Amino acid sequence: MKNKRLFLASLALILSVLLIGGTTAQAKSKTVTKTVTFGQLTNKNTQRLAAIRQAAREQILKQTKSKGGQVTAVYKVKLPKNMAKKATLTATGLQMNLLANSFKVKQITIPYTQLKGKVLNRYLPKANRTTTVKTNKMVALTFDDGPDPTLTPRLLKTLKTYKVHATFFEVGQSVSRYPKISRAVLAGGNELGNHSWNHPNFSAIGTAQTVSQITRTNRAIFQATGTLPQYVRPPYGNITAAEGRAIEQPIIRWSVDSRDWSYLNTAKDINEVMKDTRGGDIVLMHDIHAQSVAAVPTIIKRLKAKGYKLVTVSQLLNYQALPGLQYFGAKDYRTAGK
């Protein structure tokens, strides 16, 4: 009889544990999945929704282990433009259902790390939320027209020596020629941006050709690095409002122009940057001129001596740059084409 009572007590204990565990699991499942609309995720901001679409394109490419040649096709996948469309917040990211597409993918999950600054903070895990940053002592160095087989590696060594990072806006045809250097840029903790395929004036070639230039370069960069560049810098800074909307990537301009291409003089390059640079600035230089690359060590040392921290464009803009807008500095942005 005693054994029977012990057996029944043990059985009751096991059942209670199972029931509590099941209840906990059910509660947990409710907290890690939530259906939301894109309107909720973005506060009905079309630029934020465009940023989610671009993140979705990269996820499709990565999920299907696609090569660079498939980048053009990913821009043909129909992605949400209707704020009423729904997605699901899961433990690992934003889950989206897709319409029939050439990749034969029915569903993707975009990691939260790729949605920082694109989705409202309250829908993101704390680790992926943006916080207020002080940019009065931050400066972003940017370099256009590379990669150069000799000068870009030299510049990367300088950045590594001084423990700073920069953003490189590369030309697609050069990326195709020197893919290892583009990979080295990212390996050094720097950023890669799109600077067109062969440096035309976007305003003169029209929207269709501009989109082609950008897509072709995105393809080259993805082929070289396995990532799509987040940003575009139009050659000469020229872009129309229609082109800005069609590209669906943030446009990065500058607030300090070194004019290094016109001087080809190291001392002048240093003086131009130092006399104009203030906190929150984006500095334009080129890594295809030996004089410019030679000026960088002194520029870094002098900016650091003034208390500036040298950061990437993403850091300066607090990861909140959105498609359809062009950014001149930390607190200066406008509609693309204006």
Judge whether 184 and 153 are in contact, CB under 8 Å: yes
Does 117 lie in the same domain as 143?
no
Does 153 lie in the same domain as 107?
no
Tell whether 133 is covered by a domain: no
- Residue finishing a domain among 125, 156, 177: 125
- Residue finishing a domain among 93, 125, 157: 125
> What's the chain's average pLDDT?
93
- Residues forming the active site: 144, 286
Does 248 lie in the same domain as 174?
yes
Task: List pLDDT tens digits, range 169-204.
Answer: 999 999 999 999 999 999 999 999 999 999 999 999
Tell whether 95 is covered by a domain: yes
- The total number of structural domains in the chain stands at 2
| Mean pLDDT, residues 220-232 taken together | 98
Tell whether 45 is covered by a domain: yes
What is the predicted pLDDT for the residue at 12?
Answer: 53
pLDDT band at 25 (very low <50, low <70, confident <90, very high): very low
Tell whether 6 is covered by a domain: no
Whether pLDDT at 2 is above 70: no
Whether pLDDT at 80 is above 90: yes
Tell whether 10 is covered by a domain: no
The structure's pTM equals 0.90
Does 143 lie in the same domain as 119?
no
DSSP-derived letter for residue 77 is S
What whole-number distance in Å separates Cα of residue 253 and Cα of residue 270?
20
DSSP 8-59: HHHHHHHHHHHHHHHHHHHHHHHHH-EEEEHHHHHTT-HHHHHHHHHHHHHH
Does 266 lie in the same domain as 156?
yes
Does 284 lie in the same domain as 148?
yes
pLDDT band at 76 (very low <50, low <70, confident <90, very high): very high
**Cα maximum dimension of the chain:** 100
Going by their DSSP bridges, the two strands 332-335 and 325-329 should be labelled as: antiparallel
Whether pLDDT at 323 is above 50: yes
Instruction: Specify which residues 37 forms β-bridges with.
Output: 86
| Mean pLDDT, residues 53-73 taken together | 97
What whole-number distance in Å separates Cα of residue 51 and Cα of residue 324?
9
**Domain extent at residue 143:** 138-335
What is the predicted pLDDT for the residue at 338?
Answer: 82
- Omega prior to 147 cis, within 30 of 0: yes
Judge whether 287 and 143 are in contact, CB under 8 Å: yes
Tell whether 258 is covered by a domain: yes
* CA dihedral of residues 42, 46, 51, 55 (deg, nearest 10): 80
Task: List pLDDT tens digits, range 238-252.
Answer: 999 999 999 999 999
Whether pLDDT at 14 is above 70: no
Does 153 lie in the same domain as 39?
no
Instruction: Please list, residue by residue across 36-57, b when 16 or more beta carbons sit within 10 angstroms of its beta carbon and e when fewer do.
Output: eebebbbeebebbbbbbbbbbb
What is the predicted pLDDT for the residue at 91?
Answer: 96
What whole-number distance in Å separates Cα of residue 299 and Cα of residue 309?
12
Tell whether 61 is covered by a domain: yes
